Chains A and B, each alone.
Chain A
């Protein structure tokens, strides 16, 4: 899922500026599941903003709230929020970057502010309360060859032919020896499975056109060589 992290309140206040009418929009997708952008966090954000505005600027602020099923769905944004959004509202998104941009498309006359930083595609370890980045959405998955461990994401150099000389006892020098070396993990996994041929084989350089942004999937107009 998409892992997000709340921005500091000072930064959010700065972006809100003198605006008096704010609509805080949560997202019940990834952001809510990871307890950063659901209805609970939206309500908390409302309280914090009202208090901060009062304490720091001695001003009141009108805040409406909503949390919708998925911010990254235009139809859901439009049908659930149209009745709520006024012309002068500043919309504070508590969804990921995709959700925030979808809101900006649907409500193009309103100012949209991100309350969260979008971090990565990852997974959660509930016991440790930690999130780990696991996928870079590179568009060319090789997890079968690498024992289910992604070197594009989990190797700091995105090596296809690791490990490099920057590992010691399976730890990576990047980030102060706390992260596992993805290529030692891959080696151990493939060795256990008797598939070291997959480790030793040479993987050719990537074709970066596959991950050339902006990407889209679905029916689209034909490409043209001509400059419009």
Chain B
């Protein structure tokens, strides 16, 4: 049976196109200006953009509003990220209904970083559901028109549900089995944590291959040397090969600050090209929050031989 397709993202994946998605981050503000500007830059270069949900447990603007607005104002399809950290099953169901009303077509189901790593570390963590039971909830809403307690929904929403994965996970096997669990529940696509090393990307894709789920590998260029150092030091499991670090450091030393961006375009253009040509990835998820303009340049570079 052919599955119904609701979104541009799923349509392109189903057609076998190599897809690109972007990422936008609403922050602690009431202004949508930056998110909409970012969306306008990404439009035409990516099929859809993730809207982050209080990333690393920082209390930011509710993701649903910008998810709706980038579709309405910038014509860019949203992948609405939802974590289970801040809302119980009642609030999640409620927000999913609202998302359906607003025409959201893709949801990325996440557990969410723990409250203690955020900007209000004293907060009560919710975690009523986890990413797996959130996938289960979304599938029930979409496929059966009911919530987790079998209560009927009038006009059930139509979403595609994605999940996150970490190719850097060490040990990797429980990570793969966790994805298997969610694939069996009906997750439809995977977007990964950023990868800087092709060996890891390949190892992950090989381990994942039996699951037959489209994977978008995460690529995150570095806005600055400081950001690179922070990622290497603080993000669990991130491995940035020495060669990449050296190239960026040398670019800055020899050619100045602006050269970092030129070098980024080179490095990540190559990485995207390699992912496309040497793995079975369905696409690449580009994370360049705050310097979205670099995404089209990296994608252009990846198409040059």
User: Footprint of A on B, CB under 8 Å?
Assistant: 85, 89, 111, 113-114, 116-117, 125, 127-133, 136, 148, 164, 166, 169-171, 173-175, 177-178, 180-181, 184-185, 193, 236-237
Contacts and interface: CB of A to CB of B under 8 A. Distances in A.
A208 B88 CA distance: 11
Given A157-B127, A157-B130, A187-B171, A202 B185 contact: yes
B250 to A, nearest CB: 29
A170 B89 contact: no
A184 B171 contact: yes
Nearest to B164: A165
Contacts of A145: none
B181 to A, nearest CB: 5
Contacts of B130: 157, 159-162, 164
B53 to A, nearest CB: 14
Interface in A92-117: none
Contacts of B236: 165-168, 173
B132 A161 contact: yes
26 contacts: A156-B116, A156-B125, A157-B125, A158-B127, A159-B130, A160-B132, A161-B132, A162-B130, A163-B174, A164-B130, A165-B166, A165-B169, A165-B193, A166-B236, A167-B236, A170-B171, A173-B114, A174-B114, A174-B117, A175-B116, A183-B174, A196-B177, A200-B180, A202-B136, A202-B184, A206-B128
A154 B6 CA distance: 40
Interface residues of A, number: 32
Contacts of A174: 114, 116-117
Contacts of A166: 113-114, 117, 236
B89 A205 contact: yes
B174 A204 contact: no
Contacts of A203: 132
Contacts of A165: 111, 113, 164, 166, 169, 193, 236
Contacts of B166: 165
A156 B132 contact: no
Contacts of B170: 168-169
A174 B180 CA distance: 25
Contacts of B173: 187, 191
Closest 7 CB pairs of A and B: A161-B132, A168-B236, A187-B174, A205-B133, A157-B127, A159-B130, A200-B177
A200 B133 contact: no
Nearest to B137: A205
B274 to A, nearest CB: 24
B239 to A, nearest CB: 11
A126 interface: no
A201 interface: yes
A193 to B, nearest CB: 15
A200 B171 CA distance: 15
